[in-house]
Amino acid sequence: MDSVGTNRSPLRSTAAAAAAAPATRSSALPRPHRHPALGNRLAATKLGIAAWCGGAGGYFGKVQRFDAARNTMARAQSGKAARSVIREMGHTASDSEMPLKYSWGKAFPLGVSQADGGLNFAIFSQDASSVTLCLKLPERGTQNDAEIVEFALDRQKNKTGDIWHVSVEGLPASGVLYGYRINGPQGWQQGHRFDDSVILLDPYAKLVSGRKYFGVDKEEPSQFFGTYDFDSSPFDWGDDYRLPNLPESDLVIYEMNVRAFTADESSGLVPAVRGSYLGLIDKIPHLLELGVNAVELLPVFEFDELEFKRFPNPRDHMVNTWGYSTINFFAPMSRYASAGGGPVAASKELKQMVKALHNAGIEVILDVVYNHTNEADDANPYMTSFRGIDNKVYYMLDLNNNPQLLNFSGCGNTLNCNHPVVKELVLDSLRHWVKEYHIDGFRFDLASVLCRGPDGSPLDAPPLIKEIAKDSVLSRCKIIAEPWDCGGLYLVGRFPNWDRWAEWNGQYRDDIRRFIKGDPGLKGVFATRVSGSADLYQVNNRKPYHSVNFIIAHDGFTLCDLVSYNSKHNDVNGECGRDGCNDNYSWNCGVEGETNDLIVRRLRSRQMKNFHVALMISQGTPMMLMGDEYGHTRYGNNNSYGHDTHINNFQWGQLEERKDGHFRFFSEMIKFRHSHPILKRDRFLSKNDVTWHEDCWENQESKFLAFTIHDHNSGGDIYLAFNAHEYFVDAVIPSPPHHKSWSRVVDTNLESPNDIVPEGVPFTGSGYRIAPYSCILLKAKP
């Protein structure tokens, strides 16, 4: 989830999160204390679930069975009366508009599938005593006021192990909305939360229908239904289409939000396209000009951006723009479709976006949230799916505490990811995104949660983490862990990896921030971080690129704010400044916030360039945040998850204003990295690869470091010096390689365009006077 452990959900107020959890999504930076068997026809992975689901002696013992009868009655859903019609097995609807015929169906695949002339519906629930399929038929009213046809499944005929299933003939191949009413034991103390007054979303729904337009709180309905589309032709990826398949060592990752990228009027897009998948396509030329070759998208799984408005609370004025509150793990965010196009259009347009990015040579990595769902906690539950289907299976529970939901996510609940059924759900979801949408990789939010067992205890070899690493479908994907959670399981450098998993290197972020801003005693640590964090990752067959290096991420300060604010300014979030990180390792350069002081502004500009140079010359995989290429500010808000405004939205006008200065520097530095393989090695540096021009590592007051990275192939050595002192340092420049001379490429103290000259400015002499809070880069050339 967040790089600095801040709040992003309705449950993220300090008091609410603390009440439900062993630990909350802390405001501090993470610290080290810091079915009967279904037969041979089923695939092996499904056999595992079937065996678990069946009879006595299963994973959690004997499945209890309950007799229940389904009454025919009118239902009120979300305050609107809907006509409810119950059908019996084998009967057809009397309405000549759409005769429906029901039969037993089959247990797999889960979700909705085409089979035997009809549509098969299958859903898992171990503890349910009754399951009713609810169908909202488009021919029988508008979406808001349509007849809901309900069919009560027979537990003797429509159930195999713990999977309930039914086949329905006569349904259209698209446009139908569906869900389930599920009942079961009411014993709170056993961990159950069944409530059959709620129509629940199928966890395996591939499309989700809800509101059409993002953030429109007066739009109805707020009910989320599964839907499907078997009418549309397969998406045309094109004859010349190819996956980029970039080596991990070559990646420069751009973390971004689909909506915020083009939602602002300054994007120049028509209103119907702003903030959409198609809007991002329009701005691919900007990404190419910047030089990044991978985008890491904040969540694009279906989420409810209006969840803060469910009941009066201090944050009910906000809209969840980041999306770390998943409703469904298979469906793309439908309100990212252009012009309110809905779920089918969203699916198609997401594929168009991925195709366009791939054709531009840019990979697509998704930020995925499998550590919790939108359903909140037991105090203010938001039941939409898993809670009402089988709370005891899908969530971690404190069975010794009435049993309350465990909260290692800081969001009120924790998905029980290493339970066999939930594990398979996660794997099926990931495979779906790879096969259906051609996704290139995943960044796993609060991935330490995925390393916990059903009781929350850490596991040395978490089954889910291992299977992701070993899965054949996912084998081509980049897999990146955010290696901490809100329960204190801090695994930076120690995340179970099978030599496959990369990690967000939170230690890199902290150490680079502290050195560049001038904290003492960090010269040696700075050297370790820029040379690939071998102290953390040089284990077994791990590589430098398994360290995802970042200074800024979506959570916390932007790069501009990192050099402009000493303290967070989060009052607009509604929590009186209690949310967000208190320790940002930031420095305002002498004035808090916006200023017209030219000396301060120049210093801030130098510092932003210093950070960017450090990031781009470091061994490992660099990641930067959307907007930092022009100096985006959130005005000191370091937890801006709830603002669908200019606070988060990319400001294209500001980009144009700064195109020839700040942006040019950032772009040229990225391109310099791409063109110099010695900055992105796939092995850790040896003593022959780098010379440290330092003979007093123990000097705690020294804030200057110089070193040369050697090019053994062409002699194109690179000399770097970072001066975090408040005074000039006269550096002794080493002799260049034989038949070479030094050229100055970067001096962050110089004004644009002299601050970076890609072809280099010839340099002669044995010394260089390096300005306070600046860095230089020299390259050896013939």
* Residue-wise pLDDT tens digits, 535-552: 999 999 999 999 999 999
Half-sphere exposure in the Cβ direction for 743 (13 Å, CA): 15
Q: How many CB atoms lie within 10 A of CB 64?
A: 11
Q: What is the mean pLDDT of residues 363-386?
A: 97
Query: What is the full DSSP assignment across 218-282?
Result: T-S----EEEEE-SSPPP---TT-------GGG--EEEE-HHHHH-SGGG---TTTTTSHHHHHH
**Where are the extended beta strands (E) located within 116-241?**
118-124, 130-136, 148-152, 159-160, 163-169, 174-183, 207-209, 225-229
Rounded to whole angstroms, the Cα distance separating 639 from 655 reads 23
Instruction: Give yes or no for residue 11 having a pLDDT over 70.
Output: no
Q: Worst-scoring range by mean pLDDT, 8-22, 382-396, 631-645?
A: 8-22
Which token pair is 14?
């300090």
Rounded to whole angstroms, the Cα distance separating 559 from 631 reads 7
Question: pLDDT-derived band of residue 708, with 50, 70 and 90 as boundaries?
Answer: very high
Sign of CA dihedral 56, 60, 66, 68: negative
Sign of CA dihedral 612, 616, 617, 619: positive
pLDDT at position 81 is: 32
**Where are the extended beta strands (E) located within 298-336?**
none
Q: How far apart are the first and last CA of the chain?
A: 47
Which of the 8 DSSP states describes residue 679?
Answer: G
426 and 464 Cβ atoms separated by less than 8 Å: yes
Selected catalytic residue, list 147, 482, 510, 628? 482
Question: Where is pLDDT greater, at 706 or 22?
Answer: 706
Query: Which residue in the block uniquely carries the two structure tokens 């599920």?
Result: 182
Question: pLDDT-derived band of residue 57, with 50, 70 and 90 as boundaries?
Answer: very low
Question: pLDDT-derived band of residue 383, with 50, 70 and 90 as boundaries?
Answer: very high
Q: Worst-scoring range by mean pLDDT, 136-145, 236-245, 370-379, 665-674?
A: 136-145
pLDDT at position 144 is: 60
Q: Worst-scoring range by mean pLDDT, 24-38, 336-350, 377-391, 452-466?
A: 24-38
Rounded to whole angstroms, the Cα distance separating 422 from 424 reads 5
pLDDT at position 34 is: 28
Kindly report, residue by residue over 23-53, the tens digit of the pLDDT. 333 333 332 322 322 233 223 333 333 333 3
Q: What is the mean pLDDT of residues 114-127?
A: 95
Q: Report the DSSP pairing between strands 163-169 and 159-160.
A: antiparallel
Which token pair is 670?
């990225």
Question: pLDDT-derived band of residue 398, with 50, 70 and 90 as boundaries?
Answer: very high
Query: What is the full DSSP assignment across 486-528?
Result: TTS---TTTS--TTT-EEE-HHHHHHHHHHHTT-SS-HHHHHH
Q: How many CB atoms lie within 10 A of CB 173?
A: 12
Q: How many CB atoms lie within 10 A of CB 106?
A: 18
Instruction: Give yes or no for residue 575 having a pLDDT over 50.
Output: yes
pLDDT at position 86 is: 45
**Coil/strand/helix, residue 201:** coil
Q: What is the mean pLDDT of residues 620-644?
A: 98
Selected catalytic residue, list 2, 445, 579, 717? 445
Instruction: Give yes or no for residue 193 having a pLDDT over 70.
Output: yes
pLDDT, mean over the chain: 88
pLDDT at position 175 is: 95
Rounded to whole angstroms, the Cα distance separating 497 from 300 reads 25
Q: What is the mean pLDDT of residues 582-587?
A: 95
Percent of the chain at pLDDT exceeding 90: 84
Sign of CA dihedral 637, 641, 642, 645: positive
Q: What is the mean pLDDT of residues 505-530?
A: 98
Question: pLDDT-derived band of residue 218, with 50, 70 and 90 as boundaries?
Answer: confident
Rounded to whole angstroms, the Cα distance separating 382 from 326 reads 12
pLDDT at position 141 is: 57
- The distance from CA 721 to its chain's CA centroid, rounded to whole angstroms, is 35
**Where are the extended beta strands (E) located within 88-143?**
101-103, 111-115, 118-124, 130-136
Kindly report, residue by residue over 304-353, the tens digit of the pLDDT. 999 999 999 999 999 999 999 999 999 999 999 999 999 999 999 999 99
Rounded to whole angstroms, the Cα distance separating 734 from 335 reads 57
Rounded to whole angstroms, the Cα distance separating 193 from 190 reads 9
Number of H helices, E strands in the chain: 16, 31
580 and 638 Cβ atoms separated by less than 8 Å: yes
Kindly report, residue by residue over 141-175, the tens digit of the pLDDT. 555 666 899 999 999 999 999 999 999 999 999 99
Which token pair is 525?
């640590």
Q: What is the mean pLDDT of residues 644-655?
A: 98
Q: How many residues does the chain have?
A: 782
- The distance from CA 171 to its chain's CA centroid, rounded to whole angstroms, is 36
Instruction: Give yes or no for residue 83 having a pLDDT over 60.
Output: no
Question: Where is pLDDT greater, at 92 or 663?
Answer: 663
Percent of the chain at pLDDT exceeding 70: 86
Which token pair is 581?
């990180």
Is residue 482 flagged as an active site residue?
A: yes
